[in-house]
Chain A
Amino acid sequence: MCLAIPGKIVSINGDDPLTRMGKVDFGGVLKEASLAYVPEANVGDYVIVHVGFAISRLDEQEATKVFEYLNEMEDLSELQESAAVETAPPQHPAKKQQR
């Protein structure tokens, strides 16, 4: 029910923020979507579309975090291990929690 699919805006119709519509490309399938809730979105942006409405513009930088998270954890545990060897008592490195 809350299914929402990412697609790329290929064209935009209208200037009124409340009725602005976009043509969105979902892997080759084109569909109209309301852009009323993504006033910042432009042609070329990826948006998440739910029941005919774009509800979020995808953040390209944030989108890669899932691929880097394990490496970050690995670096962190190496850091912790070397800290444990070098210092006593071991310091607990501050970790980025709110991502």
Chain B
Amino acid sequence: MKYLDEYRDAELARKYAREIARITIRPWTLMEVCGGQTHAIVKFGLDELLPKTITLIHGPGCPVCVTPLELIDKALEIASRPDVMFCSFGDMLRVPGSKADLLSVKAGGADVRIIYSPLDAVKLAQANPTKEVVFFGVGFETTAPATAMAVFQARNKAVKNFSLLVSHVLVPPAIEAILGAPDCRVQAFLAAGHVCTVMGFEDYIPIAAKYRVPIVVTGFEPLDILQGVLMCVEQLEKGRATVQNQYSRAVSQEGNRPAQALIREVFRVIPRKWRGVGEIPRSGLGLNEAYAVFDAESKFGLAELQIEEPSECQSGLVLQGRIKPNECPAFGTRCTPEHPLGATMVSSEGACAAYYRYRREPVTA
């Protein structure tokens, strides 16, 4: 497929790897922010092409993985109601809540539907006026414009039986939280290309300057990731810390203005809990007052529910890049994709799931 296959050229990938090895003098630790990048790195073995002195650690960029337990429990509570048609992206169905997951609730008779686009949920609501249709709005900035459009259209069309369980999170505050931690090892970031497609990269310029870290907006194909690593290492070796755009075929500095306008119309920035990490200020989206009637948490009286995370799952450490998935004692034994302890083992972009699928044996790098 055009714009995919040509970015998987093995010969050019090896050339990139040689160039990275040629310019690398000192050891460096880079974090790829997005779970899609983690998946590509592990699937194509890109980290194994790099010099041993370059460490890639996997960031928190999987919205499924960072959705807190309490929101999963709220989803389960809402989905179990007989009058509800609960719509979600497929990734969320097997994420464990305190006692169950959406798939088992569905098996028990709840009307849980996997949808492709948030707009499908609005259509379902119009077609089923006697049902309450709830969409589980999970995602980063990439997905927020789609969720925003669903709510916007629901209001324009006066669809009263539609509501949204919001779990939208924002990337730059999470990067700042990682950089602000006293034991932070990350020296450069591959920023998430599709998040920046929507938001641009102006927000990263002050972060790069404040923490003296290179940030390279990077795509998802092997050549994209290798070029992103090369650009990071070039900056590190020269002592520079700027924002560069590797993914310029899809990303501009200002991002997608119409999409940003609709996000601002529907949502406001609020503090959000990240699973395994805790609350990060200004790191999420909640509905604006004008759209508050579409808030499923208030509609179903669940706003006050609070649940603490279980202790055995170490996904918080994985999401912050402090341990590799296979360093967790439960990895591959008490925690597998069939019986996951946490979301990082469930989501196709979770670091634990990627390691389980492609790298069961620990790699001695």
Chain A positions near chain B (C-beta within 8 angstroms)? 1-6, 8, 17-18, 26-27, 34, 36-39, 46, 48, 50-53, 55-56, 58-60, 62-63, 65-67, 69-70, 73, 97-99
Given contact pairs A1-B142, A70-B16, enumerate 18 new A-B contacts (beta carbons under 8 Å). Answer: A1-B139, A2-B192, A3-B194, A4-B194, A50-B142, A50-B146, A50-B194, A51-B143, A55-B197, A56-B197, A62-B249, A66-B7, A67-B6, A69-B230, A98-B242, A98-B244, A98-B245, A99-B244
| Chain A residues within an 8 Å CB radius of B270 | none
Question: Cβ of A52 and Cβ of B244 under 8 Å apart?
Answer: no
Partner of B250, one of A52, A53, A58: A58
Q: Which of B118, B198, B240 contacts A55 (CB 8 A)?
A: B198
Task: Tell me whether B63 is interfacial, beta carbon within 8 Å.
Answer: yes
Within the assembled complex, what's the spacing in Å between the Cα atoms of A69 and B231?
A: 10
Docked pose: A60 CA to B197 CA in angstroms: 15
B358 close to A (CB within 8 Å):
no
Q: Mark B1-26, 1 if CB is under 8 A from A, else 0.
A: 11110110000100110010000000
> Nearest 4 pairs between A and B by C-beta?
A52-B117, A27-B1, A6-B3, A63-B249
Chain B residues 131-145 with CB under 8 Å of chain A are: 138-140, 142-143, 145
Interface presence of B251 (CB below 8 A): yes
Looking across the interface, which residue of chain B has its beta carbon closest to that of A48? B250
In B337-356, the 8 Å CB interface with A consists of 347, 349
Complex interface: chain B residues within 8 A of A99 (CB): 244-246, 248
What's the A-B contact tally at a CB cutoff of 8 Å?
134
Q: Which residues of A contact B91 (CB under 8 A)?
A: 1
> Which chain B residue shows the least CB distance to A69?
B227
Q: Contact at A37–B61, with CB atoms within 8 Å? A: no
| Chain B residue nearest to A1 in the complex (CB) | B63
Q: Whose C-beta in chain B lies nearest to the C-beta of A46?
A: B3
Residue contacts A-B, CB under 8 angstroms, 11 given? A1-B349, A6-B2, A27-B2, A36-B149, A52-B120, A56-B251, A62-B249, A66-B224, A73-B19, A97-B240, A98-B242
On whether A48 and B194 interact (CB within 8 A), knowing A1-B140, A59-B248, A70-B19, the answer reads yes
Contact B244 A97 (CB under 8 A): yes
Cα A97 to Cα B232 with chains together (Å)? 11
Q: Is B276 among interface residues, defined by CB-CB distance under 8 A?
A: no
CB of A94, distance to nearest CB on chain B (Å): 13
Given contacts A52-B116, A58-B249, contact A26 B1 (CB under 8 A): yes
Contacts of B89 in A (CB 8 A): 1, 51
Confirm or deny: B109 has a beta carbon within 8 angstroms of a beta carbon on chain A. Answer: no
Instruction: Mark B304-335 against chain A: 1 for CB-CB distance below 8 A, else 0.
Output: 00000000000000000000000000000000
Provide the bound-state CA to CA distance between A69 and B216, in Å: 15
Asked whether, in the complex, the Cβ of A2 is within 8 Å of the Cβ of B143, the reply is yes
B195 within 8 A of A: yes
B161 near A: Cβ within 8 Å?
A: no
0/1 string, B172-200, CB within 8 A of A gives 1: 00000000000000000000101101100
Choose among B4, B118, B120, B143 the residue that contacts A6 (Cβ–Cβ < 8 A): B4
**Contact (Cβ within 8 A) B1 A1:** no
Task: Give A45 Cβ to nearest chain B Cβ, in Å.
Answer: 12
- C-alpha spacing A62/B197, complex, angstroms: 14
Query: Shortest Cβ distance from A48 into chain B, in angstroms?
Result: 5
Residue on A nearest B235 in the bound complex, by CB: A97
For A33, the closest partner residue in chain B by CB is: B117
Known: A1-B138, A70-B16, A98-B244. A51 touches B347 (CB 8 A): no
CA distance A86 to B198 in the complex (A): 47
Q: Which of B36, B143, B349 has the most CB of A within 10 A?
A: B143
Residues of A within 8 A of B198 (CB): 55
Q: Pick the contact of A1: B35, B197, B251, B256 (CB < 8 A).
A: B35
Q: Looking at the assembled complex, report how far the CB atom of B69 sits from the nearest CB atom of chain A, in whole angstroms.
A: 18
B223 within 8 A of A: yes
- Asked if A37 meets B248 with Cβ closer than 8 Å, knowing A6-B2, A51-B118, the reply is no
Given known pairs A37-B259, A51-B143, A70-B19, the reply for A2 and B246 (CB within 8 Å) is: no
- Interface check B258, CB cutoff 8 A: yes
**Would you call A59 and B258 a contact (CB within 8 A)?**
no
Whether A36 contacts B256 in the complex (CB less than 8 A), given A59-B248, A66-B223, comes out as no
